[in-house]
Each structure stands twice: as structure tokens, then as C-alpha cells.
């Protein structure tokens, strides 16, 4: 399999390993350097090294053995499509963008398959959700709409809400969590931690929707957009999200077991986690429409797997 990247002007002059890390997000620097040494070539067939400097317009080739991608849900429902904004309901387990593990089994690839190139401009994803998180994802159907949506997220003008099933019954019906966050200094590089000194401000509003059998169904309103913010904040107050492999009671141990087992969730690990995936759902996004300027809200109902999880804790549908 050959992956082809053409260097844009704004990436010219940087090291090859840094460029590949930009093209394939969420890879560690060490992993990128391994990939470059094993797989990076020039069009003339000569090998490349991580310290090579890339030039505008040049072609970078990664020649790799064909990936056997893990199976994921590939379909998605359309919540809104008005020619400027496309809102899709991302299923749990579907990654947003290509990584070292996923290529065709990603939302960005599925959008390209469904809408382009014959259909014109391929919808561009304006923000991100974790692979296991389900729910609303906004995409721009034009370059102008894409730019408007991305600027709205960067400026925190979008109002988002999430639904989550968490461990423990919260005492308060409402709560404001204001705990600064920063990346961990050792261990898994993807992890975030609470850090009062030198951390970035992070603010989450929480409302309890229902309590059942030692668990709570909560709606979350993030006022900032830090990586893993909701998961870290909930774990910090002692109410981690059910199924969270990184921030649950065992911290990252379930995640490492999951990876070591070839990304297969064993029955024993599933029982410890309480669910197949983190019980977190992007419920709604409210934004100023890029064309009309009118306030627009897109909602996604709680998906079937989380409804089943909540039903197993008691009786009746969630109180939403």
C-alpha cells in the first residue's frame, strides 16, 4: 500500500518526521520516526530519513504493507444537510481521521466516498470526537462554511452538550467543575491530568438527569475545549464515565490490556469496565449558521447501546 502526501506551502521547511506527524495525527514522535525509516521514499525510489527537510510541492511516499483495519461501524445518519452545513450522527467506534491503524475505516474517508469527488466539494469535518464517543459532528459543505464553523469552535462560540452514564450517584443536581488541565509528563502521551500550576483553564457545567443503581445519567456543557476534558473532569470528582479505558477506577490499565489483546475487548475486561465503550454521547451543538447567521441547533438522541446500558440499571427509558 502506498500513501502519497504533497507538501503544502505552510509545511515547507520542517522535518519529515514532523510533517508525517501532522499528516497522520495522534502518532508519537518515536512511532513516526519508525514509520519514516521503514516506509518513506522519494518518487525516484530513494529512501528518506526522519531529519530530511520537506519542500513545497514535493511528493512524500509511504510504502507500507497493506493494513488490516479493525472492523468498525461504517454507516452514519445525516441530521442536517442544507448545502452549507452537513451534520452527521457519528456511531461509536468510528474514528474521525486516518491514523497508523485506520485509513478507510474513518469518518473522513466515508465522507469522501459518499460525497466526492463527483459530488463536488467533500464535506470537511469542523471539530473532533474521540473514536468511542458517538453523536453530532458538524462539517462544512463549502470552504466558506468550513472556515466559519472551525472559527466558531476555535472561538468557543458553539454551545455543545453531551450525555454520559457515570459511576456513582451525584449528590447535587447541578455542578460547575473548574479544574485546570495539562498533558501528563510521563506514561501514555495521550493522557491529560488536573494541574493547578501551569495548567490550562477548563470549565464544565453538569446537570443530573436521573440516578439509578449507583449510577447517574448526566448532561454536560463544556465551556472550554481541552483534550479529554469531560472524561478528566468527571474522573477528578469521583464519577468517571462507565466504560472509560483511560480515566476509570483502574486508570490506563484497561486501555493497555485492550491494545495488548489486539484491540479486542475480552468478556472479563468488559465486565470490569461496565460497557463496551466509554458511555459518552455528543448530544447537541448550537451555532450561528454560516450563511443565514440564524441560531441553529442539531441534536442526536441517546444511541441504542447507551439506552440499553441505562435500562439494565433499572426500568424505563432515560428521563430526557
Question: Hey, which residues are catalytic here?
Answer: 130
Q: What is the H or E stretch that residue 150 is in?
A: helix 143-154
CB contact at 8 A, 139 and 124: yes
Cross-strand bridge partners of residue 165: 217
- First CA to last CA distance, the chain: 47
Give the separation between CA 181 and CA 206, rounded to whole angstroms: 18
Neighbours of 73 (CB within 10 A): 12
C-alpha cell of residue 299: 441534536
CB contact at 8 A, 275 and 242: yes
Pairing of the two strands 280-288 and 215-222: unpaired
Q: Radius of gyration (Cα) for the chain, nearest Å?
A: 21
Give the separation between CA 84 and CA 291, rounded to whole angstroms: 7
228 closest CA partner among 252, 250, 260: 252
131 closest CA partner among 101, 161, 160, 155: 101
8-state DSSP, 12: T
Give the separation between CA 64 and CA 59, rounded to whole angstroms: 16
132 closest CA partner among 312, 307, 306: 306
The C-alpha angle 166, 169, 173, rounded to 5 degrees, equals: 100
Amino acid at each position: 500500500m502506498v500513501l502519497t502526501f504533497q507538501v503544502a506551502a505552510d509545511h515547507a521547511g520542517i522535518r519529515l518526521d514532523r510533517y508525517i506527524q501532522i499528516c497522520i495525527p495522534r502518532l508519537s514522535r518515536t512511532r513516526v520516526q519508525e514509520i519514516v525509516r521503514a516506509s518513506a521514499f522519494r518518487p525516484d525510489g530513494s529512501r528518506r530519513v526522519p531529519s530530511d527537510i520537506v519542500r513545497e510541492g514535493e511528493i512524500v511516499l509511504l510504502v507500507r504493507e497493506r493494513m488490516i483495519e479493525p472492523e468498525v461501524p461504517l454507516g452514519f445518519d445525516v441530521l442536517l444537510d442544507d448545502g452549507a452545513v452537513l451534520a452527521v450522527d457519528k456511531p461509536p467506534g468510528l474514528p474521525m481521521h486516518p491514523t497508523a491503524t485506520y485509513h478507510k475505516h474513518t469518518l473522513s474517508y466515508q465522507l469522501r466516498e459518499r460525497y466526492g469527488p463527483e459530488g463536488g466539494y467533500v464535506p470537511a469535518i469542523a471539530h473532533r470526537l474521540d473514536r468511542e464517543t458517538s453523536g453530532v459532528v458538524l462539517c462544512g459543505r463549502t470552504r466558506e462554511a468550513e472556515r466559519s464553523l472551525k472559527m466558531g469552535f476555535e472561538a468557543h462560540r458553539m454551545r455543545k452538550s453531551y450525555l454520559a452514564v457515570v459511576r456513582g450517584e451525584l449528590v447535587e443536581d447541578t455542578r460547575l467543575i473548574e479544574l485546570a488541565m495539562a498533558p501528563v509528563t510521563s506514561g501514555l502521551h495521550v493522557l491529560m491530568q488536573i494541574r493547578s500550576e501551569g495548567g490550562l483553564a477548563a470549565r464544565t457545567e453538569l446537570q443530573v438527569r436521573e440516578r439509578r443503581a449507583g449510577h447517574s445519567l448526566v448532561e454536560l456543557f463544556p465551556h472550554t475545549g481541552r483534550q479529554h476534558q469531560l472524561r478528566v473532569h468527571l474522573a477528578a470528582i469521583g464519577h468517571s464515565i462507565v466504560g472509560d479505558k483511560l480515566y476509570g477506577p483502574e486508570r490506563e490499565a484497561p486501555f493497555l490490556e485492550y491494545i495488548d489483546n489486539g484491540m479486542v475487548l475480552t468478556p472479563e475486561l468488559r465486565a470490569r469496565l461496565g460497557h463496551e465503550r466509554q458511555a459518552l454521547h455528543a448530544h447537541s451543538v448550537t451555532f450561528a449558521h454560516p450563511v443565514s447567521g440564524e441560531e441553529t441547533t442539531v441534536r442526536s438522541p441517546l444511541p441504542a447501546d447507551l439506552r440499553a446500558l441505562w435500562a439494565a440499571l433499572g426500568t424505563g427509558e432515560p428521563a430526557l
